[in-house]
A and B are shown apart, each in its own frame.
Chain A
Amino acid sequence: MIHAAFLIPILPLAGFAILFPLGRRLGNPLAGWIATAMVTASFVVTVIVFVALFQHAPAHREFTQSWFTWFGVGRLRVGAGLLVDPLSMTMAAFITGVSSLIHLYSIGYMRHDEQFPKFFTYLNLFVFAMLMLVLADNFVLSFFGWEGVGVCSYFLIAFWFERDDAASAGKKAMIFNRIGDAGFLLALFLIFERTGSFEYTTVFARLGHVGTPSLVAIALLLFLGAVGKSAQIPLFPWLADAMTGPTPVSALIHAATMVTAGVYLMCRINPILHLAPDAAHVIAWVGAVTAFVGATSACAQNDIKKVLAYSTVSQLGYMMLAAGSGAYVAAIFLMLTHAFYKALLFLGSGSVIHAMEEDQDIKNMGGLAKLMPITGITFLIGWFSIAGVPPFSGFWSKGDVLENAWAVTPALWVIGAVSAFLTAYYMGREYFLVFMGERRWTEGRQVAGVHDHGSAAHDGLHPHDPSWHMSLPLVVLATLAALGGFINLPFHPNFVFLERWLDPVVGANLLTTHFSVGQQWLFAVVDAAIALTGVAVAATVWRATAERPALEPRFLFMAWFIDRGEDRLVARTSTALANFTATVVESRVIDGAVNGVASLTRWSGERLRRVQSGYVRNYALGLVAGLVVLVAYVLVRAGS
């Protein structure tokens, strides 16, 4: 059944191919149902292939499926084909699974949007690109998916393109990603120069012949791509801006799937990172710092989605920390559980935003838990999961990351642990400000302003739980977020299911930790204590009040001024430079020289001949004179 793998990406592509020309005719909600059906079918196929793969012996869980030669010249061959192995199938399974749920949710969420069919067209295209990224059997085809998800992300961030902030955010995301992509491209060229191939298996088999400096360069260039895509320092500001996109997009693309592509890439190239420990250290440290900066910034945001955005930055930092530590299983483990609880939190926030008639300011909310019980309870589960409260999934996955970080150097653990405390705290702050405390809004208040996707309820503000399309994904994701940790339990080698599953891909290059069971328990207790402290602090501080300016300093609200700094330093200087180039260098210097020569010729022509012929003839005279000299010179030289 493994050869059915080609259907996994093709089904969402088929959905796109149907919706692109016919979407508007199919309309609302049929277009949404078709898109959802395609992605769900893809999920079913993934499960079948997954099971088929599982039935093979661990050493034989690697299959390639060649489709055709995409392009090739001489020795350079780029094929279109799939690599089916435990890592790619794990990715495919959670991508299609989470996508199915978010597609379903979107049918409810986008119900009143005029561009409903277009939304699902983009969404299906995105899922196709994302699946190509993770299933490709070579670097270039992965790059195809990599750029493809970037383009879809651009479309979807700028989905409400009439809003200037959405349009700018889309453009910004694409440009930031492109900076990373330039690094990815250079890595590809270097890989080809050094190994003569782009195929993962071939490249990895030939690493022995590649010098360490080249390996470090390749790893860091690919990491530059990952920094852009996975919103690491310094290329993360686009992710906060990307929240202008519809909330299901934030959940799917900017939390669960696309932004984790960089982490996937780092796990995929584990044989390279293993041979380039210097690069791995850089990755771990960038990840740790990103985790800290993201977590601190999330503490001071007032937009319900921006808290989650910076939280995502922070969590992606953890994943990079794990990948850089050589703890690839922990990275994937956190990626999976994060996909569950962060998608849940985003979808929950979308439900809140709907209920609040598009108001996203958590300072204007409060007391919603009683009015929206499903949203409230699932959000609570999401909070506990991300906070790392045992036995929710985040406890296990983040614990795994921290344990491995300690094995590399305790300093990384300290940064990670501080960020873990902050994580429990900022999500608690959000939970209390949104769902608990007093209502800082008025029942039945008429909402002013434009509804970008025209919510139907115009009889004022009456928060309530959403329709089943939206509730069902919340419940499923909450279940996964609560129980997802059990796929990789510590303490006993028989329980580390995920580690044993991924072993054929990453096992050889995995960081080996030598913690006794007692030490593992100690880590677990410390993690739990950190999480519970964060929860307790949040409860104490934010249960009763929404105003604590001292805890929301401006430099955290501005995310350490990194965005503004980059804007001032890079964006504005380059615009100024471009203006200077266009007005001075181009017009005055280069074109000035051309027109100068023209004037000079005209002037001397008039002086010399004093005829009133057209310019062309005068030019011809000058030219002929020059040519005669040139011919003479060439002939003399050639003759000698």
Chain B
Amino acid sequence: MNVSAAGQLLTTGITSSQQAFPFLTALVLLPAGAAILVMLLPRRSRWAIRAAGMAASLGVLGIAAAVLDQFQAGFGGYQMVSEHPWIAPLGISWTLGVDGISLFLVLMTAVLFPVALAGATAKENPKSFTVWVLLLEAGCLGSFLSIDLLVFFLFFEATLVPVYFIIAGWGHERRGYAATKFFIYTFAASAFMLVGILALVSIHQGQTGVTTFDIRRLASTHLSGTAEVVLFLSFTAAFAVKAPVFPFHTWSPDAYGESPAAGSVLLAGVMAKLGTYGIIRFDLGLFPHAVVVLAPLLLTLGVVGIIYGGIVAAVQRDLKRLVAFSSLAHLGFIVVGLFALTGESLSGAVLQMVNHGIYTAALFLLIAMIYRRRGTFAIPKLRGLQSSAPVLAAVFTVVMLASIGVPGLNGFVGEFLILSGTFLTHRWWAVVATGGVVVAAAYFLWAYQRVFHGRADNAAAEEPFAEMTWREGLVMAPLVLLIVALGVYPQPVLERITPSVDAVVLHVEQAAHPTIPLAGQPVEAVLARAERPTVATHPFAAARLDVSSTTPRRGDATSANQRKGAAS
């Protein structure tokens, strides 16, 4: 296959072999349809409601597994694309596709929803709860799968409503404040993106005469420097609030803290990834030049988030708020990985989105178990839980260590790839970010000590702290298994992520180095160029993305070698 420009690798993809079964559409429609079905069920048949919700979310997991099975490793473009014109005059179409970047986010979503339903369902009014959760699942999956910008935006916004009602309906004391703050903050930020979308589409229409929201086409829009930066900022506003990125995070401790367990699990586990996913898919895909220009700013925000989140987490007295700030720090790592713009850091960031989803969900579920027994999230009111609940403590320990980034568990690989990739292009940011590793150990171990260690003060509580039940263990089991499996052997996942990430890196690099001649070269050559120079030709030179430099990479590498020669 010949491509005229490497960018097309990213933008066109292949409308791969016609699928016999529209897997991706089914992924989105199944939970939505199930939500409608549950709505029709009588309010009193709690069992049927739960079973329907569970069956639907497990069905989604099954389809997601089938998608994984059908997915062609080693290919970077969209796969299983299903395209149906929707509002043809406006160029809006129902276009879904999956690539290495979205594949595992979809899978993670498909895992976390049944886990959340099984582990943290609502006692009061389970019907509405199940409906909202299923609608949220449809919204999240639609966001990860949409290639059409407007359809993405609709899904992206549609996720707000279920979460608003989940927090407001089943949350803790300050739920009203938290839900409103969450809704308004994220909604306001999204408005910027809507304007950005419309502006981008109209610019594209002005240039080509075609009205389309298809990002594969929009990626080739020619934008002036300023316009690109402004559009980038409008998109990033939405993503930075959604993730959240420092300093746009203040809704999250309230929202995570006040929402019911399932809400926290899904907010931190899945919805946070909508923001970081949006950055890699739309910011890097549509505004590569602006990304290169503004990368230092975003990297700085990411690094500040890592340290700041860790410091503030250390002095939280509420377990959920502690995890919220810890999440801010972890998302800081992901943001750093995204804007360091190396294959290593981007692949690490995508992997880390999945990792973070898993261990954060597990943490919130464990905290919910503590709450169920003690009725509090306050660290000072808990003590010595390990003596009466060693299994729960052990599971908590494993999840905590994964979150701290201990090698052998899943957090390490993502963090390591992010940091080592970032070190190549933005050394000092990576150095400061590495400090976050120490801070993370400090706040988590301190919290663990206060909650689990020490002598249990059973006199204060009416009954001894109960051990993890079988049911709870069953809910935690898949998450713990994934934590270990992704820590020991993440390679199959990385192999599927990397080709898509390479295409993105190549796309961004081309924007930064427009003089690299690429036309008419076979894909292999183009992709080979995307990797750093091989050892055989350029022994140890690290590639740098340099905006000002328009010299081809080969020259960079040689001069870097000369510099090193001079140094030694």
Contact = CB atoms under 8 A, between A and B. Distances in A.
A162 B568 CA distance: 55
Interface in A551-606: 574-575, 577-579, 581-582, 586, 590-591, 594, 598
B535 A73 contact: no
Contact of A598 (B184, B348, B490): B184
Interface in A60-77: 68-76
Interface stretch (A49-57, A143-151, A259-267, A430-438): A143-151
A136 B539 CA distance: 25
A193 B567 CA distance: 15
Interface stretch (B50-58, B127-135, B312-320): B312-320
Nearest to A114: B387
B312 A586 contact: yes
Contacts of A631: 195, 198-199
A71 B230 contact: no
Contacts of B489: 68, 70
A581 B308 contact: yes
Contacts of A486: none
A203 to B, nearest CB: 11
Contacts of A639: 206
Contacts of A70: 413, 488-491
Interface string B244-257: 00010111000000
Contacts of B548: none
Contacts, number: 215
A583 B16 CA distance: 54
Contact of A148 (B194, B408, B435): B408
A171 interface: yes
A190 B339 CA distance: 20
Given A209-B539, A209-B540, A578-B311, A616 B184 contact: yes
Contact of A638 (B183, B203, B441, B454): B203
Nearest to B450: A167
B502 A196 contact: no
Contacts of B18: none
A168 B449 contact: yes
A168 B454 CA distance: 10
B188 interface: yes
A400 interface: no
A76 B192 CA distance: 38
Interface stretch (A177-185, A250-258, A292-300): A177-185
A18 B202 CA distance: 64
A140 B491 contact: no
B416 interface: yes
Given A582-B312, A591-B250, A623-B191, A73 B347 contact: yes
A147 B407 CA distance: 7
B446 interface: yes
Interface size class of B (residues with CB under 8 A): 35 or more
A196 B540 contact: yes
B453 A637 contact: no
A161 interface: yes
Contacts of A162: 384, 387, 453-456
B438 to A, nearest CB: 5
A212 B234 CA distance: 46
A179 B199 contact: no
B406 interface: yes
Contacts of B390: 118
Q: In terms of DSSP, what is the predominant structure of the interface of chain B?
A: helix
A158 B453 contact: yes
B531 interface: yes
A161 B234 CA distance: 51
A459 interface: no
Interface residues of A, number: 74
B431 interface: yes
Interface in B165-189: 180-181, 183-185, 187-188
A372 interface: no
Interface in B313-344: 314-316, 343-344
B407 A148 contact: yes
Interface string A171-214: 10011001101100110111011111000000000100111111
Interface in B374-394: 384, 386-387, 390
Contacts of B417: 71, 73, 76
A138 to B, nearest CB: 12
A164 interface: yes
Contacts of B466: none
A196 B413 CA distance: 18
B430 interface: yes
A211 B412 CA distance: 29
Interface string B414-456: 0011011101100000110011011001100110110011111
A168 B386 CA distance: 15
A74 B498 contact: yes
Given A619-B188, A630-B192, A151 B449 contact: no
Interface centre among A164, A630, A638 (most CB of B within 10 A): A638
Nearest to B538: A196
Given A72-B491, A162-B384, A175 B419 contact: no
B416 A140 contact: yes
Nearest to B227: A638
Contacts of B316: 582
B274 interface: no
A189 B419 contact: yes
Interface in B504-542: 531-532, 534-535, 539-540, 542
B449 A171 contact: yes
B494 interface: yes
B223 interface: yes
A73 B446 contact: no
Contacts of B192: 627, 630
Contacts of A118: 390
Nearest to A177: B441
4 nearest A-B pairs in the assembled complex, by CB-CB distance: A211-B567, A167-B453, A211-B568, A189-B423
Interface of A: 68-76, 118, 140, 143-144, 147-148, 151, 154, 158, 161-162, 164, 167-168, 170-171, 174-175, 178-179, 181-182, 185-186, 188-190, 192-196, 206, 209-214, 574-575, 577-579, 581-582, 586, 590-591, 594, 598, 615-616, 619, 623, 627, 630-631, 633-635, 637-640
5 contacts: A73-B494, A74-B532, A161-B452, A193-B424, A630-B192
